[in-house]
Amino acid sequence: MHCIVFFGIQGSGKGTQAELLSEFLDFQHINIGDLFRDQVARETDLGKQVHEIMCRGELVPDELVFEIIYSSLRQDLKGIVFDGFPRTLKQAEHLMQNYKVVQVFFLELSEEEAIARISARRVCSGCGANYNLNSSKPLRDNVCDDCGAELKIRDDDRPEAIAKRVKEFYAKTLALKDFFAAHNLLCLIDGGGSIEAVATRIRNKVTGLF
Ligand code: AMP
């Protein structure tokens, strides 16, 4: 199974860019954070196991990550765009053993800019739609354009949890840059500028890969 991987500091735009690229390539987009949030919202056994961990901004154990990926794979897929996976060396090794990794995009953005972006993030309490008060504002303050419900800050976007998530990124995920560079898979992308500007940089890199 062909796959493309996005990683980068929280707020670097990997979710948005992974979504756009998966539409462009007609690949399945697997956003691990969203999959876990869905389990939490539905109060499943898995959701109950991961809820506290996520609220604290810590990483979920690797085995639970593998489990949720397997259970979400579509049968008809052409390929996968992974977003938020891998985040540990063990996950990266699992990825290399089980998938044909074509390219790994690392979105580069300063910590200050990433935190500023996260602080502007809002999610709809009704339908889960994502907004950003800087780049994709709702039409009416604090109200979802799609369903009219109130917008809120994600539990793990609160300052204490952000600080913990950024710490986890430096402690466990940043080392994957060297891992993927050693496999000749790493492609650094400037994550600054508009969503479309970053998307164009990425599309230019995938042209010719498939
Ligand atoms: P995200 O929306 O990508 O920032 O992910 C939200 C939360 O989900 C993270 O803070 C972790 O608790 C959990 N999570 C997402 N992806 C992973 C992963 N690959 N490994 C472990 N935990 C993850």
Note the pLDDT tens digit of each residue in 137-164: 999 999 999 999 999 998 889 888 999 9
Q: How many distinct structural domains can be found in the chain?
A: 1
- Candidates 154, 172, 201, 205; catalytic one: 154
Ligand 1 center from residue 60 Cα (angstroms): 7
Q: Which residue ranges have their beta carbon within 6 Å of ligand 1? A: 10, 32-33, 36, 53-54, 57-60, 65, 84-87, 91, 156, 165
CA distance linking residue 204 with residue 207, whole number of Å: 5
Name the 3-class secondary structure at 153. coil
Is 141 domain-assigned? yes
Task: Verify cis geometry, omega within 30 degrees of 0, for the bond prior to 86.
Answer: yes
Q: Are strands 130-132 and 100-108 parallel, antiparallel or unpaired?
A: unpaired
CA distance linking residue 99 with residue 171, whole number of Å: 25
- For tokens 């540990």, name the residue: 88
Contacts of 88 (CB under 8 A, 6+ apart): 59, 62, 172, 173
What's the pLDDT score for residue 150?
97
What's the pLDDT score for residue 75?
83
The best mutation among 19, 59, 130, 167 to test binding of ligand 1, ranked by most ligand atoms within 8 Å of the C-beta, falls on 59
In the annotation, is 203 catalytic?
no
Is 83 domain-assigned? yes
Report which protein residue has its CA nearest ligand 1's atom 11: 59
In the annotation, is 14 catalytic?
yes
Tokens of 22: 């998966």
Is 50 domain-assigned? no
Residue pair 93/180 in contact by the 8 Å Cβ criterion: no
Of the candidates 31, 39, 35, which has an alpha carbon nearest to the alpha carbon of residue 14? 31
pTM to 2 decimals? 0.90
Is 56 domain-assigned? no
CA distance linking residue 17 with residue 13, whole number of Å: 6
Is 54 domain-assigned? no
Is 69 domain-assigned? no
Is 174 domain-assigned? yes
Residue pair 130/123 in contact by the 8 Å Cβ criterion: yes
Residue pair 168/59 in contact by the 8 Å Cβ criterion: yes
Residue pair 124/131 in contact by the 8 Å Cβ criterion: yes
CA distance linking residue 50 with residue 127, whole number of Å: 21
Domain that holds residue 120: 2-27+77-201
What's the pLDDT score for residue 144?
97
What string of pLDDT tens digits covers the 210 residues of the chain?
A: 899 999 999 999 999 999 999 999 999 999 999 999 999 999 999 999 999 999 999 999 999 999 999 999 998 889 999 999 999 999 999 999 999 999 999 999 999 999 999 999 999 999 989 899 988 899 999 999 999 999 999 888 988 899 999 999 999 999 999 999 999 999 999 999 999 999 999 999 998 787
The best mutation among 66, 87, 89, 99 to test binding of ligand 1, ranked by most ligand atoms within 8 Å of the C-beta, falls on 87
CA distance linking residue 117 with residue 171, whole number of Å: 21
Is 66 domain-assigned? no
- Candidates 37, 87, 117, 122; catalytic one: 87
Ligand 1 center from residue 162 Cα (angstroms): 12
What is the CATH number for 172? 3.40.50.300
In the annotation, is 42 catalytic?
no
